[in-house]
C-alpha cells in the first residue's frame, strides 16, 4: 500500500525544512556563543596623568667596521661595555639599540650582546636599514 490517503494527499510530515532550520540555528549559536563568553564588562580604574611612569632610557651601542665601540656617541674600550651599561642601568631602566656595521664579524656582535645581558639588560634590539634603503644606497 502507499502512504496516500483516499484523497491522494501525503499524510507524512516533511522534516527536511525543520532540520535545515535547526542546523542554521545551531550554527549561529555555535558561532556567537564564544563571542558572548568573552564579552566581560569591567570598569577600569582611572588614574591621573600626573603619575610618573618608570623612566626608560634608550642607549645606542654602535660597533664600527674597525671594531670601535660607542655608547651613544662616546667611544669606549670594547671590554668596558658591561661596566658602562651597569652604570647607566643604575640611573634608569635601560633599553639598548645595537647598531653594528655589516662588515663587523658576528663574534664581535655576540660579545657585545653577552656584555649587555651580563649588565642586567634584557631589552635590546638590532637597528637595520630597510631593504628599499639599501637598494637606493647601492
Percent of the chain with pLDDT over 90: 17
**C-alpha–C-alpha distance, residues 128 and 30, integer Å:** 46
The region of weakest confidence among 9-13, 26-30, 82-86, 108-112 is 9-13
Over residues 31-83, the pLDDT tens digits come to 887 666 654 555 555 655 554 445 556 888 888 888 889 988 889 998 899 99
pLDDT the model gives residue 46: 63
Question: What percent of the chain is modeled with pLDDT above 70?
Answer: 70
Label residue 114 by pLDDT band (50, 70, 90): very high
List all residues 6 or more positions away from 127 whose beta carbon is below 8 Å from its beta carbon.
60, 97, 98, 99
At 6 the pLDDT is 62
Q: Label residue 52 left, alpha or beta by phi (over 0 means left) and psi (-120 to 50 means alpha).
A: beta
Query: What is the structure's pLDDT at 25?
Result: 93
What does the pLDDT read at residue 118?
92
Q: Was domain 56-128 assigned CATH 3.30.420.270?
A: yes
How much is the pTM?
Answer: 0.54
Q: How far, CA to CA in Å, does 38 sit from each of 26, 65, 71, 102? A: 19, 53, 47, 47
Amino acid at each position: 500500500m502507499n502512504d496516500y490517503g483516499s484523497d491522494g494527499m501525503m499524510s507524512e510530515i516533511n522534516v527536511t525544512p525543520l532540520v535545515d532550520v535547526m542546523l542554521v540555528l545551531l550554527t549561529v549559536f555555535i558561532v556567537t556563543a564564544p563571542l558572548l563568553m568573552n564579552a566581560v564588562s569591567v570598569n577600569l580604574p582611572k588614574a591621573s596623568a600626573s603619575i610618573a611612569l618608570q623612566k626608560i632610557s634608550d642607549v645606542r651601542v654602535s660597533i664600527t667596521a674597525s671594531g670601535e665601540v660607542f655608547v651613544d656617541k662616546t667611544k669606549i674600550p670594547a671590554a668596558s661595555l658591561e661596566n658602562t651599561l651597569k652604570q647607566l642601568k643604575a640611573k634608569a631602566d635601560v633599553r639598548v639599540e645595537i647598531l653594528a656595521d655589516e662588515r663587523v664579524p658576528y663574534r664581535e656582535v655576540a660579545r657585545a650582546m653577552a656584555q649587555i645581558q651580563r649588565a642586567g639588560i634584557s631589552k635590546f634590539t638590532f637597528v637595520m636599514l630597510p631593504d628599499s634603503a639599501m637598494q637606493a644606497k647601492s
